[in-house]
């Protein structure tokens, strides 16, 4: 499974998903290039692979976090090709906050219910979002596409992990990540 890392990406938006998935899947950081990138919170990340040396067939899922400025993902044909290929073969695509911009640019959102943390005006200016299938909800799942508002990163992570079979007790995980659980609950939440 892959997570896209790029300059200014919002690290926190994928923390829950990655924590739950890392026990079951090998998580690969894929960058626009192999150059280190600094996330929105200041975390310096070294991409393991670049878009130029990955194929969609390699991944069961691809996650795209948002960023304060999504312009860095504009006009990235290799990213669009990767997402289109993964979507066509049924891999899970997860995008949170502004991350659905990449899905829209790739044409993956055509006819697919989705959400994104942009206003109607911003969506219109960006020109990649089909307005007829936008839903203002925290998380929207449509077949192999999961999108979420940025503030719903916990629910996003849980939805992705559940879709990929990485949690056995979703309600227990939800309780834990909302701060009402304890470390002993961890064994009941995750698969080995």
* Mean pLDDT of the residues in the chain: 93
For 181, how many CA atoms within 13 A lie in the half-sphere containing its CB?
Answer: 17
The domain locations on the chain are 2-189
> Residue 190 pLDDT more than 80?
no
Q: Which residues pair with 64 in a beta bridge?
A: 95
| 70-103 tens-digit pLDDT | 999 999 999 999 999 999 999 999 999 999 999 9
Mean pLDDT across the stretch 148-163? 96
| 12-38 tens-digit pLDDT | 999 999 999 998 999 999 999 999 999
Q: What's the sign of the alpha-carbon dihedral 26, 29, 32, 35?
A: negative
Q: Which CATH class is domain 2-189?
A: alpha beta
> Which residue carries 């990649």 as its tokens?
128
Are residues 72 and 8 in contact, defined by beta-carbon separation less than 8 angstroms? yes
Which DSSP symbol is given to 183?
A: G
Work out the pLDDT band at 178, boundaries 50, 70, 90: confident
Mean pLDDT across the stretch 105-119? 97
């Amino acid at each position: 499974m892959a997570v896209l890392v790029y300059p200014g990406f919002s690290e926190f938006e994928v923390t829950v998903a990655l924590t739950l998935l890392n026990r079951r899947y090998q998580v690969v950081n894929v960058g626009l290039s192999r150059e280190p990138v600094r996330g929105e919170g200041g975390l310096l990340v070294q991409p393991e692979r670049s878009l130029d040396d990955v194929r969609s067939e390699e991944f069961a899922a691809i996650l795209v976090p948002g960023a304060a400025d999504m312009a860095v993902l504009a006009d990235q044909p290799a990213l669009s090709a990767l997402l289109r290929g993964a979507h066509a073969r049924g891999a899970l695509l997860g995008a949170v906050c502004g991350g659905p911009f990449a899905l829209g640019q790739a044409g993956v959102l055509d006819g697919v219910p989705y959400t994104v943390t942009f206003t109607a005006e911003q969506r219109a200016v960006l020109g990649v979002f089909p307005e007829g299938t936008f839903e203002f909800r925290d998380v929207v799942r449509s077949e192999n596409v999961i999108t979420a508002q940025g503030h719903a990163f916990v629910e996003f992570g849980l939805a992705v992990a559940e879709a990929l079979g990485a949690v056995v007790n979703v309600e227990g995980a939800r309780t834990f990540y909302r701060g009402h659980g304890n470390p002993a609950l961890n064994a009941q939440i995750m698969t080995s």
